[in-house]
Structure 1
């Protein structure tokens, strides 16, 4: 048991990778839509490349979303409006008119017969206008039903009666009597007419919903064994609908019963293969990333994030899957690592999503092309314009690609779904969210992006400002080293921005005892003269440890602190060691050696060479081309003999290129020129 635990402990990094791998596969398969995958790939307007296809089961031909939407709109346009007949309003109007007529007749000299005729005419007119009812506004729908005494009575448009129309009818009916003195009676009747038909919104909506629910989502059946399409036949519009219907039926049926477990197994195997490819790529070509579990977790986290976002969109809004800004993945990975890893991870993610998205060929093609454009165009994201330019090009690629596929499928440019242009633009806008995401990921995973490096390179930052105040000589030395290291990094294709920032901060530990370092001594007094060599060496060596502590105090990223830790590696404080040997021939080298570690990347190796060359160059007197050449060769050769570059992935050829740049820069610094005769 003890040996097992010991093995687990010694291989905990590998155990964690196994755990991350298994969890990632499980989560991706869990995210996938719960359905099988149709085994045939087909496109509208392309030949059927398989054998003759016969219906394996009975299935219905489904209507397209456009057809269903058209039917729904047709029903809405022809919907029936329901109005409720208010009998109480009719009685109220009739009673009011009767009372007003009675009062009116009492004050006027009408005969009994005239009063009876006028009263009866008024009641007859009321019965006529309220037989169907009076609308307050003309109904928009041509189909109207009035609910009167729990009975539904349809009304034709030519019988729609408004209050104004009813008043005109009153005038016509009374005028037919040809009786003198009827104008006041007409006025009484007209003034009291009111609409009594009330629009019943609830009943209208309920009837509309009932009609909409009756829409059939299929338009015909295909019997088992019927030929659907023959080999080589062009997939026309009707064939395309039938094949899509079979695909939907097939995928929904497959997920039932025992097939569930086989489909689950298939998905698991395919996803596992894809993620194995990612691990193999990291182990073979990005070993430094592979060994760093934090970076591996970061890569898998971003892949899972893209898969989750896309699968959720497929489940709920399938028509808008291009809203998901998949190009954020290569954008972020290139920013934190490199272009090759970003593109490789993007392609693998697209392959995973190809299992579940509709029109997988079209999706994979467009996303891979967009990913390549992202890698080729997105650079120096700390320059704000670059991200906008890159996003604009990505959006343009999506639009051009959509045009091309639409032309292939339809054979023309008709029926273009213009809403997809809005989807592509929205995709571009969401891709701009990469900037805040980079900041969030920096805080979550402790990584450093070019944007942060640009901020750290500002010499007006709090820490560098303090360095320039307390140790101005060291600050000037750091600037010189930064220039040398940046030029060397550019020459061999290393991360020049990272090297420059590392160089600016590599000696911040000298602020603790600035006068013990020659570049900060402004008088002839040297405090080391009063100290034993061993004590002096201890102060010199401690500037590395002090630098690490100071950097952490100011929240400098670990990636920059690595430069502080490694810029002297495990080299010897040679000057004080020799002085100690003069006092004690058996002096221990370990007391005069930096604690390390030695450089473990091209960037940290470049800084070690640049720092040593720049510091030692101050001792050159009357430098010439041969002296500088020999001087640089001697320093770098000494570092190589001390095995300082064993862990750095820098080649001998690259070291030679670095030395060449250092020689050129030193020549420029000392302004060496050909001596002209007087």
Structure 2
């Protein structure tokens, strides 16, 4: 049991990666659509390249989106509106006639012609309310048929039969002129205007309900294909009705209800493919990015980004498939390039696009566009911390999207008339969303504790608080750090190392000297040496402690681990040679380990470069009469000694690259000492 626990503890990093791998695969499979995938691509406007296709089951032919929209529009245009007829208002109006008429007509006239006047008023009101008086004109055509609802019954009439309010005066004048009461026109008009009320109104609720009922009953299919019928033959062009039939077959195939056993097999198939894709990524990292593979935080970061992009794309596809290109997928290679390198960013991007092919429609077109956009992202984005570069890169990415979409449309449709402005707009929105990469990188730095070039640029500012403190407490060390930074940056550029990282590492590598600045020769301003009163071991202890002190100060000021690595390794496991030899003069049994730096030795190109530049720059102050030959021998001697002591054994730097660094250091030192060619006398 104890052995098992020990093995578990030793291999905990590996077990974590297996767990992370399995968890990511499960979550991605959960997000994928759970239906059968149609095994054929439908190449619209191109010949059918596969074997003759026969219907595997009965299925209905789906109408095209255009046909459905036309049918909907036709229903809307031909829909008959409903008007509500209030039957109580005419009754109430007629009941008020005996009261209103006497109030308008003088008694002498009313008493003589009461029956005639009241009879005319009632007959006219019957004519007014035969089809009703409309409350508001709906501006329909006069010949438009409408439904007039009286209670639970509806009658189809012409819209012109309904009297409108603006037509009432003309109607009444006409009726009065045709009667034998024309001499009382003004009195009769006053009676009618006192009595008449609108009783017909547009029934919008019932009209909309009936319209929606008709729209809901639209059939989305036309005709059927029987099982065993030939759908398309090899070589036939996929267009028109053939295209609709193939689209219908694909839709039916992917949306049919699967049995439990089929569902399980689909899950198994998805799991195998997703696991295979993620395994390829993990193997790539293990083989070519060993330092990343050994860091669980970095592996988690990579897998999290893949899962995040799959999840975001799934949400957008479920919301509205038309917005799939709004998802800024190019953020993925940009982010990984900012924290790691371009090759890992591109490889991860391709794996992610392959996984997204299961989710999106027209997967070949989608994957082609996204892979091309990812390549453009990697090639054009050199320095993410420069805002202009980001905007230029986003512009190029958007342009590539648009050009690729234009080409696909021309291939599929045969003309440019079908290029949709809405799709071009989604590309623009996706490009703008890519600009979110900068705040996203900042968030990632805080969550995962990593450092990008943008943070390195901020740290390289010599007005930063910690560097300002170094320049005040240990001005000589600060000047030394600046010189080392310039040398290291030049060397890194020559061998394609991370110049920004090594420059920042050089600026902070000696911050531990702030604790006892006068014990270091570059900060001594008088002839008095602080080491004169100390034993060699004590002096060596103070010198070596500046590494430990530097790490403590760096952590206190929240410097990134990648920068602290330079403080740890810039002396490796070398010895403080001056005090070791001094001790040896006094004691032949002196132990070199008592004068050795704690290490570790450099483990990257950048930390190796800093060790070389730091040693050369510091020792160069001891050169009395430097000449070109002296400097060449001086640089060779220092770096060869470091190589002999196996200080670069763990760093991924080659002999050729070390020779290039030597060459740069020699040239820079000659410039510093202002050496010129010696002319013969």
TM-score range, shorter chain: over 0.9
2:571 alignment partner, SS class: coil
Q: CA deviation at 1:20?
A: 1.2
Q: CA deviation at 1:248?
A: 1.3
2:260 alignment partner, SS class: coil
Cα deviation, 1:350-388, whole Å, max 9, x if unaligned, reads 111222321111111111111111111112111111111
Task: Give yes or no for the alignment of 1:170 onto 2:172.
Answer: yes
- Listed as ranges, the matches of 1:143-158 within 5 Å are 143-158=145-160
| C-alpha distance 562-42 of structure 1, shift in aligned 2 (>3 A) | same
For the aligned residue pairs, the C-alpha RMSD in angstroms reads: 1.7
Give distance in 2, aligned partners of 1:97 and 1:484: 110
Scaled by the length of structure 2, the TM-score of the pair is 0.96
User: Which residue does the alignment assign to 1:102?
Assistant: 102
Q: CA deviation at 1:224?
A: 0.7
Cα deviation, 1:70-101, whole Å, max 9, x if unaligned, reads 32233233333323222343344445555332
What is the total number of aligned residue pairs between the two structures?
A: 677
1:144 alignment partner, SS class: strand
The question of whether the paired residues in 2 share the 8 Å contact of 1:482 and 1:501 is answered with: yes
Q: CA deviation at 1:451?
A: 0.7
The question of whether the paired residues in 2 share the 8 Å contact of 1:44 and 1:237 is answered with: no
- Listed as ranges, the matches of 1:515-534 within 5 Å are 515-534=518-537
User: Which residue does the alignment assign to 2:136?
Assistant: 137
Task: Give yes or no for the alignment of 1:41 onto 2:44.
Answer: no
Give distance in 2, aligned partners of 1:208 and 1:450: 61
The equivalent position to 1:411 in structure 2, one of 405, 409, 414, is 414
Q: CA deviation at 1:192?
A: 4.5
Cα deviation, 1:616-665, whole Å, max 9, x if unaligned, reads 11111121101110111111011111111011000000000001001111
User: Which residue does the alignment assign to 1:112?
Assistant: 111
User: Which residue does the alignment assign to 1:241?
Assistant: 244
1:548 alignment partner, SS class: helix
User: Which residue does the alignment assign to 1:53?
Assistant: 53
Q: CA deviation at 1:585?
A: 1.6
Cα deviation, 1:458-501, whole Å, max 9, x if unaligned, reads 11111111111111111111111000000000000000000001
| C-alpha distance 98-523 of structure 1, shift in aligned 2 (>3 A) | farther
User: Which residue does the alignment assign to 2:300?
Assistant: 297
The question of whether the paired residues in 2 share the 8 Å contact of 1:624 and 1:672 is answered with: yes
Give distance in 1, aligned partners of 2:139 and 2:6: 83
Task: Give yes or no for the alignment of 1:578 onto 2:581.
Answer: yes
Cα deviation, 1:124-175, whole Å, max 9, x if unaligned, reads 2222112212222222564532221221122312223211112221111012
The question of whether the paired residues in 2 share the 8 Å contact of 1:167 and 1:193 is answered with: no
The question of whether the paired residues in 2 share the 8 Å contact of 1:254 and 1:260 is answered with: no
2:572 alignment partner, SS class: coil
Give distance in 1, aligned partners of 2:19 and 2:587: 56
Task: Give yes or no for the alignment of 1:460 onto 2:463.
Answer: yes
Give distance in 2, aligned partners of 1:551 and 1:159: 91
Task: Give yes or no for the alignment of 1:475 onto 2:474.
Answer: no
The question of whether the paired residues in 2 share the 8 Å contact of 1:453 and 1:501 is answered with: yes
The question of whether the paired residues in 2 share the 8 Å contact of 1:143 and 1:156 is answered with: yes
Cα deviation, 1:537-583, whole Å, max 9, x if unaligned, reads 11111111111111111111111111111111111011111111122
The question of whether the paired residues in 1 share the 8 Å contact of 2:84 and 2:150 is answered with: yes
User: Which residue does the alignment assign to 1:125?
Assistant: 124
The equivalent position to 2:208 in structure 1, one of 193, 198, 205, is 205
Q: CA deviation at 1:283?
A: 1.5
| C-alpha distance 210-643 of structure 1, shift in aligned 2 (>3 A) | same
| C-alpha distance 119-564 of structure 1, shift in aligned 2 (>3 A) | same
Give distance in 1, aligned partners of 2:297 and 2:145: 69
Give distance in 2, aligned partners of 1:379 and 1:197: 73
Task: Give yes or no for the alignment of 1:334 onto 2:352.
Answer: no
Give distance in 2, aligned partners of 1:450 and 1:148: 78
| C-alpha distance 112-472 of structure 1, shift in aligned 2 (>3 A) | same
| C-alpha distance 430-166 of structure 1, shift in aligned 2 (>3 A) | same
Give distance in 1, aligned partners of 2:480 and 2:97: 107
The question of whether the paired residues in 1 share the 8 Å contact of 2:84 and 2:200 is answered with: yes
| C-alpha distance 143-401 of structure 1, shift in aligned 2 (>3 A) | farther
Moved more, 357-366 or 194-203: 194-203
User: Which residue does the alignment assign to 2:27?
Assistant: 27
Give distance in 2, aligned partners of 1:96 and 1:458: 94
1:60 alignment partner, SS class: strand
Cα deviation, 1:16-57, whole Å, max 9, x if unaligned, reads 111111111111111101111111122101111111111110
The question of whether the paired residues in 2 share the 8 Å contact of 1:33 and 1:311 is answered with: no
Q: CA deviation at 1:205?
A: 2.2
Moved more, 648-657 or 211-220: 211-220
Give distance in 1, aligned partners of 2:569 and 2:97: 106
The question of whether the paired residues in 2 share the 8 Å contact of 1:541 and 1:594 is answered with: yes
Give distance in 1, aligned partners of 2:592 and 2:14: 37
Give distance in 1, aligned partners of 2:377 and 2:525: 53
Q: Give ranges in structure 2 of 5+ residues lacking alignment.
A: none
Give distance in 2, aligned partners of 1:111 and 1:260: 90
Give distance in 1, aligned partners of 2:116 and 2:257: 82
1:84 alignment partner, SS class: strand
2:134 alignment partner, SS class: coil
User: Which residue does the alignment assign to 1:449?
Assistant: 452
Task: Give yes or no for the alignment of 1:250 onto 2:253.
Answer: yes
Give distance in 2, aligned partners of 1:186 and 1:54: 79
The equivalent position to 1:635 in structure 2, one of 638, 651, 655, is 638
User: Which residue does the alignment assign to 1:193?
Assistant: 196
1:180 alignment partner, SS class: helix
User: Which residue does the alignment assign to 2:4?
Assistant: 4
Task: Give yes or no for the alignment of 1:659 onto 2:662.
Answer: yes
Query: Where do 4+ consecutive residues of structure 1 move more than 6 Å?
Result: none
The question of whether the paired residues in 1 share the 8 Å contact of 2:64 and 2:244 is answered with: yes
Scaled by the length of structure 1, the TM-score of the pair is 0.97
Task: Give yes or no for the alignment of 1:317 onto 2:320.
Answer: yes
Task: Give yes or no for the alignment of 1:64 onto 2:64.
Answer: yes
User: Which residue does the alignment assign to 1:421?
Assistant: 424
Q: CA deviation at 1:108?
A: 5.3
Give distance in 2, aligned partners of 1:333 and 1:155: 71
User: Which residue does the alignment assign to 1:553?
Assistant: 556
1:220 alignment partner, SS class: strand
